[in-house]
Amino acid sequence: MSTFRQLTYMCLDKLKLVSNDSHLQEEHILYLLNTTRAFLLKQRYGDVKKQIPESNYQTICIDLKQVNAINGIPCEGADYLKSIQELPELMQVGKRRISSVDFFQGNFAYVNNERFKYVGGNRYLKNQIYGTIAPDSHLYLRSDNPQMYYLEKVKVTGLFEDAIKAAELECDNSDKCDIMDKNFPLEESLVQPLLEIIVKDLSNYLYQPADNENNDNDDLSKIANYIARNLRERRG
């Protein structure tokens, strides 16, 4: 699997871009890698039922605290565990998994907000832990198992809309502090289409209005900003 850095420099190498604004160019390429990845995954898996390779998924680790209410959901009469961090938005494709970081014995099930209001109270499923991501972007957990409240951290696996934000919360990232050194979550079969889209879009703009003047204006940065806005409008 390629890293953010490797894919960024693949794009730069194909474009043959060399200027004093190279650090800004890398930021723009990183943004385009992020948005184009989401576009390709939705395009391939949005309307069909097929198995999605694990290389597209990310697993994040989030900390928990106990609360007695849920922002945005009218639930009463229960205690919950709430994630301290906000979760990056999940795509409407792919599976979502919640699991424990340690050796906690319990079954996790992800449910939508509507079903979450009615879970619990089944004596045959006392060890079942239910989780949902509420409108406030926090994960909430609920269970009849009192051992759940000893949990301090859980893992959430899914296809995140913003791979960069998810990478900042990834588990076991102590040896890779720089986002550029982390694995880019995309299956190999989509890497080449990803590069082709980005290089084509950038080429259409960067090779025409070239910054030939030796001035202090960040002309290439302005062009790249225009491209980023164009991509956002086209891909939603």
> How many CB atoms are located within 10 Å of the residue 159 CB?
23
CB burial string 3-41: b at 16+ within 10 A, e below: bbbebbebbbeebebeeebeeebbebbbbbbbbbbbbbb
185 or 127, which is more confident? 185
- pTM, two decimal places: 0.80
Assigned token pair, 126: 């006392």
Interval 91-100: pLDDT, tens: 999 999 999 8
Mean pLDDT of the chain: 82
Taking the CA of residue 97 as centre, how many other CA atoms within 13 Å lie in the half-sphere pointing to its CB?
Answer: 12
232 contact partners, CB below 8 Å, separation of at least 6: 35
117 band by pLDDT with thresholds 50, 70 and 90: confident
What are the phi and psi torsion angles at 49 (to 5°)? -100, 100
Task: Tell me: pLDDT of 230 over 70.
Answer: no
179 or 84, which is more confident? 84
pLDDT above 90 coverage of the chain, percent = 50
18 band by pLDDT with thresholds 50, 70 and 90: very low
Give the whole-angstrom CA distance, residue 159 versus residue 34: 12
Closest by Cα among 46, 4, 1, 56 to 182: 4
